[in-house]
Structure 1
Amino acid sequence: MSYLRFQNVSKHFRQNEVLKDLDFSIHKNEFVSIIGPSGSGKSTIFNLIGGILSPDEGEILLDGQCINGKRGFISYMPQTSSLFPWRTILENVLLGQELQGKKDVKAAREMLEIAGLSDYENAYPHMLSGGMKQRAAFIRALLSPQEVICLDEPFSALDELTRFEMQKWLVDMWESHRRTILFITHNIEEALYLSDRVMMLSAKKAKVVSTIEVPFERPRHESILLDERFIQCKRDVYYQLVGEVK
């Protein structure tokens, strides 16, 4: 049974129709990546789920409830960590809970320890590396009470080695603390390594043109990136994506 559902959702900005009859479903605790050409409406989808925008047509359903234009139902992690510079790392990761009126400091400290950040709980964001900030931002998302987490290219600003370390860490954390995740990326390898499914959007007036069930069991080891089946799957997605760009 679907947990998050886009039901014939359309959205336009003046004369520019970004989404047209977009229809898809996400299951509870599923990890789904969204890829597509630049300008295909990926971030608009997140803004609609988060209630920042309302659809012009159609419905967005979360656990059977229409959430069109309603806020507070998702936890969101943007491309940058967006940590408040005047708050310590512990205070930053507790922010989502704080906004809901309760804080679980013990759970926050346990997750900071798992993330290798226990020595930095009283430090400020400027004292951390890019990867450490992103780990703190994801912990903040996990600690927030919402069941759906939207990640908008969270590793795009990191160097290649740090990015891969973050991917492995994200998979481990998600395996331990299952939540429903929607993940935007332009990186095909990243999408296949992390996800249960990959949804590919068309260009303008975005629709889901293809959904790929990632055929690799979990937990996934980094050696899978060199597996011929993985490489072939990457080729298939690449050629579909190139076809959409053209």
Structure 2
Amino acid sequence: MSAPLLEVGRLNKVFETKKGRVHALHNIDLAIKEGEFITVIGPSGCGKSTLLKIAAGLDTDYEGEVRLSGEKVTGPGIDKGFIFQEPRLFPWLTVEKNIAADLSLKKPEVRQKVDNLIELVKLTGFEKAYPRELSGGMAQRVSIARALLRNPKILLLDEPFGALDAFTRAHMQEVLLDIWQANKTTMVFVTHDIDEAIFLANRVVILKPRPGAIKNIIPVDLPFPRKKASTSFQEIRYKILSEFEKLDELELVESAGI
């Protein structure tokens, strides 16, 4: 059996605040295989985004171990792509130049790769458009293409569709699955939405709060494309909901757009 791509071991994270110490993550152990699509879900304040930022190397102040391809994660790098909740595009650059970032489109290999990514994220015809001319979903697709440009080993997505309307969000879920299936990039996706978590993932990691810890990991053994109204989909949904035993936890998740 091959070694996991991403390994998180005995991870603990404490924030020092004016009101005292906040234990954000407690003894997180997680192994993710190459090519997997993992979703992370849980109530607000359970440490989902903190876990993602630590895996990306954006936060290195913790106890425990995080390894990518066997090497300790000590900071951000091109081997880890990160997608924030908002697109964070350069407003003065076109779509193609935002994707290329600091690489020159005059180089044939860069030009070819940018063109391929524009086609992959379904933005053909918008190469010369500026961020102000794009919808929220289109702008987030530019962010994903930019993150994929350098062939990261893993793509970490922090609620990237949270601000989108329901129809755009559903479309973006389909687009992201197309990208994952075409590129085989390992993905870890944080969300508040149980249906979204099941629709996308091979496994759903459920976190509980105070402090954030893994409550359970639910496998999603459903073929693609998935139907949210199907009996098998709803059975997994019920299984995940049943993990939220406390009423306040269930309300926090249900109020987040399900």
| TM-score, structure 1 normalization | 0.91
Measure the CA separation in 2 of the matches of 1:81 and 1:103: 25
Please tell me whether residue 229 in structure 1 is matched to residue 232 in structure 2: yes
| Structure 2 residue aligned with 1:113 | 119
Q: CA deviation at 1:220?
A: 1.4
Shift in alpha-carbon separation, 1:242–1:105, aligned structure 2, 3 A: farther
Measure the CA separation in 2 of the matches of 1:102 and 1:214: 41
Q: CA deviation at 1:55?
A: 4.2
Cα RMSD for the two superposed structures: 2.0
Which stretches of structure 1, 4 residues or longer, exceed 6 Å deviation after superposition?
none
1:113-155 deviations in Å (ceiling 9; x for gaps): 3433221111110011111111111111222332111001111
Q: Note if contact 1:31-1:181 (Cα within 8 Å) is conserved in structure 2.
A: yes
Please tell me whether residue 75 in structure 1 is matched to residue 78 in structure 2: no
| Structure 2 residue aligned with 1:27 | 33
After the TM superposition, which residues 86-165 of structure 1 pair with which residues of structure 2 at under 5 Å, given as runs?
86-95=92-101, 104-165=110-171
Measure the CA separation in 2 of the matches of 1:55 and 1:79: 22
Amino acid corresponding to residue 71 of structure 1 in structure 2? P
In the alignment, structure 2 segments of 5+ residues that lack a partner are: 251-258
Q: Note if contact 2:39-2:204 (Cα within 8 Å) is conserved in structure 1.
A: yes
After the TM superposition, which residues 49-68 of structure 1 pair with which residues of structure 2 at under 5 Å, given as runs?
49-67=55-73
Q: How many aligned positions are there?
A: 240
Please tell me whether residue 40 in structure 1 is matched to residue 42 in structure 2: no
Shift in alpha-carbon separation, 1:46–1:97, aligned structure 2, 3 A: farther
Percent identity reads 32
Q: Note if contact 1:153-1:183 (Cα within 8 Å) is conserved in structure 2.
A: yes
Secondary structure of the residue that 2:164 maps to in structure 1?
A: coil
Measure the CA separation in 1 of the matches of 2:184 and 2:62: 32
Secondary structure of the residue that 2:228 maps to in structure 1?
A: helix
Q: Note if contact 2:5-2:31 (Cα within 8 Å) is conserved in structure 1.
A: yes
Q: CA deviation at 1:77?
A: 0.5
